[in-house]
């Protein structure tokens, strides 16, 4: 049965041992196939902090006009993402990029498609202040939450300085680190179950790590190399999103985006930073044709010459071979008053 990400009794946060880096803590009880999730020293996990983060995640009062919550775009019933190409923020404003899933987000080393945040804590504040997302000043947010007795009590209990934007980010990050999924057929295969990849799923797995070259960037186990690549998506509009270059300012980074995680892809359509591909079949066709030609195209992106049967097997692996048995389902909590 799926395990709630809030079963903190079942999520061990351990102090470092001799085999782990000093001065670190970890979410260590995770599904098969998932790496331990590093927890920063200044934001140790606790059941109470995660519960606070969960409430904040679902609370539309975190947005300027009190209509949009984090869960509006990261919907648990839609793969913790959004089934639209671009999500809607306050006043119906459209986001400029497709919303990525936050499942296993604690495994990332950088955040956002362009990598502009270095931690989940840092990431949490960007959507709050973004005019097209939640559009609230941080001082306004702090004042609003202090006026809610239930929140004020929780913050005062957990943090010496009570309600601050930094502590909002800490609580949200703690909750998001519990959104984990794994134990896919491929995870079970890696764990020693040789029959976990039978039939077309197994054929697709061989293509993924072989002829299709997907494994060059989507490295086994984590399914990302934690790098940024230009695959040429979005060029059909005539304007290329600057991607990583928007953060670094370097011309060679134009059109590069972070390699996404791949588990449970079937739940998170549409795909790519611009949501331009509506199905996994379209994604495979795009890569099979060699991506979108442009001067900065990644050298890994070349025509694959897959047959129709091979493309179908690859899609089957992406859809079925990477489907988690242990998937996080969360109900909206009662909100503090």
Judge whether 74 is annotated as a binding position.
yes
Nearest Cα residue to 86 out of 102, 103, 72: 72
Which domain CATH number covers 170? 1.10.760.10
Shared domain check, 165 and 31: yes
Residue 183 belongs to some domain of the structure: no
Same domain, 147 and 213: no
Is 7 one of the annotated binding-site residues? no
pLDDT tens string 283-295? 999 999 999 999 9
pLDDT for residue 64 is more than 90: yes
| Structure-block tokens of residue 166 | 């930094």
Can you tell me the distance from the alpha carbon of 149 to that of 15, in angstroms, rounded to the nearest whole number? Answer: 33
Residue 58 lies in a domain: yes
Query: Which tokens go with 319?
Result: 């859809």
In terms of domains, do 194 and 46 share one? no
Identify the pLDDT of residue 312.
Answer: 98
Domain annotation covers residue 182: no
30 lies in the same domain as 141: yes
pLDDT digits (tens, 9 = 90+) for 210-232: 999 999 999 988 999 999 999 99
Q: What is the DSSP string of 176-244?
A: HTT---B--HHHHHHTT-GGGS-HHHHHHHHHHTTTT-GGGTS-TTTT--S-EE---TTGGGS----BT
Residues 220 and 308 in one domain: yes
193 is in an annotated binding site: no
On whether both 35 and 167 belong to a single domain, the answer is yes
Regarding whether 212 and 138 lie in a shared domain, the answer is no
Residue with tokens 């939640």: 134
Q: Is residue 110 in some structural domain?
A: yes
- Across all residues in the chain, what is the average pLDDT? 91
Q: Can you give the residue range of the structural domain that contains 105?
A: 8-176
Lowest mean pLDDT among 12-26, 144-158, 248-262: 12-26
Q: Which of 176, 198, 226 is the last residue of a domain?
A: 176
- Asked whether residue 1 is assigned to any structural domain, the reply reads no
Q: Is residue 328 part of a domain?
A: no
Query: pLDDT at position 9, please?
Result: 36
Global pTM reads: 0.92
Same domain for 162 and 31, yes or no, is: yes
Q: How many Cβ atoms from other residues are within 10 Å of residue 34's Cβ? A: 23
Q: Are 55 and 335 contacting, i.e. CB atoms less than 8 angstroms apart?
A: yes
Instruction: Provide mean pLDDT across the span 157-186.
Output: 97
Which of the listed residues 176, 198, 216 is the one where a domain comes to its end? 176
**Are residues 170 and 193 located together in one domain of the fold?**
no
* Pair (34, 163) in one structural domain: yes
Same domain, 195 and 221: yes
Cβ count near 137 (within 10 Å): 12
Q: What is the pLDDT of residues 107-124, one digit of tens each?
A: 999 999 999 999 999 999
Round to whole Å and give the CA distance between 285 and 266: 16
Per the domain annotation, does 129 fall within a domain?
yes
* Structural domain includes residue 330: no
Go through the chain and tell me how many residues it has: 337
Are 148 and 69 part of one and the same domain?
yes
Could you give the number of structural domains in the chain?
2
Question: At 235, is the pLDDT very low, low, confident or very high (cuts 50, 70, 90)?
Answer: confident
Distance CA 183, CA 191 (A): 9
How far, in Å, CA of 284 to CA of 103, rounded? Answer: 22
108 is in an annotated binding site: no
Of 113, 142, 176, the last residue of a domain is: 176
Confidence of residue 238 (pLDDT cuts 50, 70, 90): low
pLDDT digits over 4-45, tens only? 444 443 343 332 222 333 335 888 889 999 989 999 999 999
What is the distance between the alpha carbons of residues 125 and 177, in angstroms, rounded to a whole number? Answer: 16
Q: Is 226 annotated as a binding residue?
A: no
How would you classify residue 103: left for phi > 0, otherwise alpha for psi between -120 and 50, otherwise beta? Answer: beta
């Amino acid at each position: 049965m799926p395990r709630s990400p809030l079963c903190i009794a079942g999520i061990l946060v351990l102090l470092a041992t001799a085999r782990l880096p000093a001065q670190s803590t970890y979410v260590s009880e995770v599904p098969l196939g998932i790496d331990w999730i590093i927890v920063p020293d200044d934001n140790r996990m606790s059941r109470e902090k995660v519960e606070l983060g969960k409430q904040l995640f679902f609370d539309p009062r975190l947005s300027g006009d009190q209509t949009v919550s984090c869960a509006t775009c990261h919907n648990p019933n839609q793969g913790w993402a959004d089934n639209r190409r671009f999500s809607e923020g306050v006043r119906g404003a459209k986001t400029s990029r497709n919303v990525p899933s936050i499942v296993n987000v604690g495994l990332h080393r950088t955040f956002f498609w362009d990598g502009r945040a270095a931690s989940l804590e840092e990431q949490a504040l960007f959507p709050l202040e973004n005019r097209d997302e939640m559009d609230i000043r941080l001082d306004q947010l702090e004042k609003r939450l202090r006026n809610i007795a239930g929140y004020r009590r929780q913050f005062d209990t957990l943090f010496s300085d009570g309600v601050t934007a930094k502590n909002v980010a800490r609580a949200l990050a703690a909750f998001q680190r519990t959104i984990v999924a794994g134990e896919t057929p491929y995870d079970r295969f890696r764990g020693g179950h040789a029959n976990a990849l039978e039939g077309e799923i197994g054929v697709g797995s061989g293509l993924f790590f072989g002829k299709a070259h997907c494994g060059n960037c989507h490295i086994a186990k984590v399914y990302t190399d934690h790098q940024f690549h230009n695959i040429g998506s979005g060029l059909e509009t005539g304007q290329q999103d600057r991607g990583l270059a928007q953060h670094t300012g370097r011309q060679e980074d134009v059109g590069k985006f972070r390699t996404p995680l791949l588990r449970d892809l079937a739940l998170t359509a549409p795909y790519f930073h611009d949501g331009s591909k509506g199905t996994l079949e379209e994604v495979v066709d795009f890569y099979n044709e060699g991506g979108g030609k442009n001067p900065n195209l990644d050298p890994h992106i070349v025509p694959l010459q897959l047959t129709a049967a091979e493309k179908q097997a690859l899609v089957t692996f992406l859809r079925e071979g990477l489907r988690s048995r242990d998937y996080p389902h969360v109900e909206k909590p009662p909100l503090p008053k």
